[in-house]
Structure 1
Amino acid sequence: MKRKMIIIFLALTTAAFAADSAIYGEELITNILGYGKEGSLHLGQWFTVLQGKYFSIGFLIVALGIPAVFLIHYLIIGPKVFSHDRKKIPVFTIFHRVIHWIAGVSFLVLVPTGFIMVFGTTFGGGEFVRICKDLHALSTILFCISVVPMLIMWFKEMLPTMDDVKWMMILGGYLSKVKRPIPAGKFNAGQKMWFWVCTFGGIIMILTGAVMFFQDFELAIIKSMGLTQIDFLRLSAIVHNILGMAVAALFFTHVYMSMFAIKGAIHSMIIGDKEEEEVEILHSTYYKQLKEQNKV
């Protein structure tokens, strides 16, 4: 009897707590995002503040801060240099390289034109910014062509492992001049982070970018979210800008790592091979797997 009473008491307490949490959670969301009395979600104030001040500051930090950090790294730590006298290990097929370069070319246009659009008034606005907007849209088509094949061909190899935790704890060994084996598979934690932000984040940016570019979306999802069309446009812009900062920061990182931090690394995406010592040091787990398979 006592056990039943305890169970009933716990059930009632849990139900009351859940109901209270739901009410509190709804009030919290209402206070943060600003629901109107009619149930519409008004993002005007948030959009004005973010778009008018904080997004420009965030993009400026990314544009100047990330390259500055890497310049300091290059001057103090310097690039990692590996022997070219050992075997060449085939890593990327022609298909891998073609898809990668389609995505790469799209980002070489998307990132700078995105920055120009953010700082449109600084560049004088007008025709120049409009052309950049059109180039931004056209290069998105290139990215659309590459994003699904990238997801398919690298999805499994980009799944997280315990090596990624170890890699993050030592930042891939890039803070040391000493060459010692780094725990990583075919792709390290940094490359995986860039992959997921680039693909899934990129898909979200495609969708939100389409909303902003065409501005005539009449989707059922708008009403289901309690949004007016203008609020949906504002929400898309907010999400697009936040992801844009993350993509730009990781794109700069990807370029620095492939062109400066590791001498000759970019050649792997041109000829498809990596130097054996580079794989042995920077992808030690993958190198051990290749040895077990008698491929090195």
Structure 2
Amino acid sequence: MRKYIVMFIAALCLASVAYAADSQIWGEMRIQNILGYGQEESWKLGPLFTMLQHKYFAWIFLGVLIGVPAAFFIHYKIIGPKVFPHSEKKYYAFNLYNRIIHQVAAVSFLVIIPTGFIIIFGDFFGGGTFVRMAKNLHGIFTIPFTIVVIPMALMWLKEALFNMDDVKWFMILGGYLSKEKKPILAGKFNAGQKMWYWVAILGGITMILSGAFMYFLDFKMQMLHNLTGMSQIDLLRAAAIIHNVMGFAVLALFITHVYMSMFAIKGAVHSIITGYVEEEELKILHSTWYKKLKDQGKF
């Protein structure tokens, strides 16, 4: 059954990309209503949007882009990574379906985030063809993420619910400020992974919806207009503000996720490629889950 689900997702991705590439939303039809946008302003978000766009958004994104990796560089140099043998017993934690869904989302983010930066700093890159190409790639690679975000949310929802172990994890920041290997209370996902799950899922869905508003400029949402009383131009401004604010959190947590899986825990990234997690890694970093698996005779 899962094989057919994977095949369906792959076919849907390819069909969506083909449709988007041929769609008129990329052409002149996108701006056919723009001349009328400024004729009415309900919430008068123009000054707020202009101030945020010109004075704050780009600088905050730049601060996150430089500041978060800099903090992790210092952590790597002072504390260093946690290294596990990866030659001991292993547990098959992530099946093929889990891995494909995760990898589609990962590849999507690896394109969406850099192209988002090119769009934000379009003036710096001189505008033109390069920035337009980044904008189109940004939109196209949102399609596969849109397809997998709900399956990803459902398959890991139970493991992503917070509990008392997470409170204790946050109190010691998961033990990452210590070079010692002491067992840390955590289930299949620790508190940091759970936080990334909720930011990626809820933030991702929010950015999909707000991004769709900005891509489909001339698609009027009468229901939202009636519900909020907002004009088309203010709906677009609100979407842009929400998209940027959520982008700060998604970017910061994505960099954190990459650092933890590729640098802070040596070899951890292989678990989502092969599906196997090393025993000592579970014993130290996910001790609650390890005890449960051991009680079940898995180790």
Give the share of equivalent positions with the same residue, in percent: 62
Query: TM-score, normalising length from structure 2?
Result: 0.85
* Paired AA for residue 145 in structure 1: I
Instruction: Supply the distance in 2 between the matched residues of 1:174 and 1:126 (Cα, whole angstroms).
Output: 44
Instruction: Supply the distance in 2 between the matched residues of 1:259 and 1:86 (Cα, whole angstroms).
Output: 20
* Map of 2:279 onto structure 1: 276
More moved, 165-174 vs 39-48 = 39-48
SS for the counterpart of 1:196 is helix
SS for the counterpart of 2:274 is coil
SS for the counterpart of 2:277 is strand
The 5 A counterparts of 1:115-130 are 115-130=117-132
User: Are residues 1:246 and 2:249 paired?
Assistant: yes
* Paired AA for residue 237 in structure 1: A
SS for the counterpart of 1:60 is helix
Aligned length: 259
Answer whether contact 2:41 2:231 (CA < 8 A) is retained: no
* Map of 2:234 onto structure 1: 231
SS for the counterpart of 2:66 is helix
1:87-127 deviation line (CA, Å, top 9, x unaligned): 11111001100100000000000000001111110111111
Answer whether contact 2:41 2:233 (CA < 8 A) is retained: no
Answer whether contact 1:39 1:226 (CA < 8 A) is retained: no
Instruction: Supply the distance in 2 between the matched residues of 1:222 and 1:66 (Cα, whole angstroms).
Output: 38
Q: 1:110 aligns with which of 100, 109, 112?
A: 112
Structure with max Cα Rg: 1
**Higher RCO (CA 8 Å, separation ≥ 6 residues):** 2
Query: TM-score, normalising length from structure 1?
Result: 0.86
Answer whether contact 1:86 1:275 (CA < 8 A) is retained: yes
Q: Unpaired segments of 5 or more residues in structure 1?
A: 1-37
* Paired AA for residue 231 in structure 2: T
* Map of 1:161 onto structure 2: 163
* Map of 1:177 onto structure 2: 179
Root mean square deviation, CA, Å: 1.2
Please state how far the C-alpha of 1:84 moved relative to its aligned partner.
2.3
Please state how far the C-alpha of 1:221 moved relative to its aligned partner.
1.1
* Paired AA for residue 118 in structure 2: I
Evaluate the alpha carbon distance shift between residue 39 and residue 271 of structure 1 in structure 2; reply closer, same or farther with a 3 A threshold.
Answer: closer
* Paired AA for residue 152 in structure 2: M
* Map of 1:137 onto structure 2: 139
Please state how far the C-alpha of 1:83 moved relative to its aligned partner.
2.2
* Map of 2:204 onto structure 1: 202
* Paired AA for residue 258 in structure 2: V
Answer whether contact 1:89 1:276 (CA < 8 A) is retained: yes
